[in-house]
Amino acid sequence: MEYKSYTSFDPNFLWGAGTASFQVEGAAKEDGKGLSVIDMIKKNPTITDFSIASDHYHRVEEDVALMAELGLKVYRFSIAWTRIFPNGNGEVNEKGVAFYNRLIDELIKHNIEPLVTIYHFDYPQSLVEQYGGWVSRKSIEDYRAYAEFLFKTYGDRVKYWLTINEQDHVVRIPSRLGLTGDNHYEQLRLGYQANHHMCVATALAIKTFHDLGMEGKIGPAISYSIIHPASSHPDDILASKDAMLIKNNYLMDLHCYGEYSPRFQRYLEDRNFTPTIEDGDLALMKQYPPTMLGVNYYFSEAVRAFPATEEFPIGYQKKALLPEAEAGVFEVVKNENLAATDWGWEIDPVGLRLTLNELHDRYNLPIFITENGIGAYDKLEEEDIIQDDYRISYLKEHMKQVKAAINDGVTVLGYCAWSFIDIVSGRNGMEKRYGFVYVNREDFDLKDMRRIKKESFHWYQKLIASNGEDL
List the CATH number of the domain containing 237.
3.20.20.80
How far, CA to CA in Å, does 238 sit from each of 233, 234, 245?
9, 6, 11
pLDDT at 318: 84
Q: Is residue 307 a part of any domain in this protein?
A: no
How many alpha carbons fall within 13 Å on the CB side of residue 87? 7
Q: Is 445 helix (H, G, I), strand (E, B) or coil?
A: strand
What 8-state DSSP symbol labels residue 134?
G
What 8-state DSSP symbol labels residue 43?
P
Catalytic residues: 166, 371
d(CA 19, CA 117): 10
pLDDT at 154: 98
Query: In 284-432, which ranges are E strands?
Result: 293-296, 301-304, 325-326, 330-333, 367-371, 412-418
How many alpha carbons fall within 13 Å on the CB side of residue 455? 15
Q: Is residue 315 a part of any domain in this protein?
A: no
70 touches 464 (CB < 8 A): yes
Q: Is residue 173 a part of any domain in this protein?
A: yes
Q: Is residue 207 a part of any domain in this protein?
A: yes
pLDDT at 7: 81
Q: Which domain holds residue 90?
A: 14-296+337-465
Q: Is residue 3 a part of any domain in this protein?
A: no
Give Dmax (Cα) for the chain.
64
Q: Is residue 167 a part of any domain in this protein?
A: yes
Q: Is residue 439 a part of any domain in this protein?
A: yes
d(CA 74, CA 15): 6
d(CA 35, CA 465): 41
Q: Cβ contacts of residue 13 below 8 Å, gap of 6+?
A: 73, 412, 413, 414, 415, 467, 468
Specify the DSSP element, H or E, that contains 78. strand 74-78
d(CA 107, CA 461): 17
Cross-strand bridge partners of residue 147: none
102 touches 59 (CB < 8 A): no
pLDDT per 10-residue tile (average), the chain, 471 residues: 81 97 95 95 73 94 98 98 98 98 98 98 97 98 98 98 96 91 90 98 98 97 96 97 96 98 95 96 98 98 95 85 89 96 94 98 98 95 92 98 96 97 86 95 86 97 95 88
d(CA 394, CA 342): 13
Provide the sign of the torsion angle of the four alpha carbons 437, 439, 442, 443, taken in this order: negative
Provide the sign of the torsion angle of the four alpha carbons 218, 219, 221, 226, taken in this order: negative
pLDDT at 1: 77
120 touches 165 (CB < 8 A): yes
Q: Which pTM does this prediction carry?
A: 0.96
How many alpha carbons fall within 13 Å on the CB side of residue 252? 24
Q: Cβ contacts of residue 130 below 8 Å, gap of 6+?
A: 87, 88, 89, 138
How far, CA to CA in Å, does 58 sit from each of 1, 22, 38, 441?
48, 14, 20, 16
How many alpha carbons fall within 13 Å on the CB side of residue 137? 5
Cross-strand bridge partners of residue 460: none
Cross-strand bridge partners of residue 313: none
Query: In 252-390, which ranges are E strands?
Result: 293-296, 301-304, 325-326, 330-333, 367-371
Number of domains forming the structure of the chain: 1
Cross-strand bridge partners of residue 330: 326
Q: Is residue 470 a part of any domain in this protein?
A: no
Cross-strand bridge partners of residue 59: none
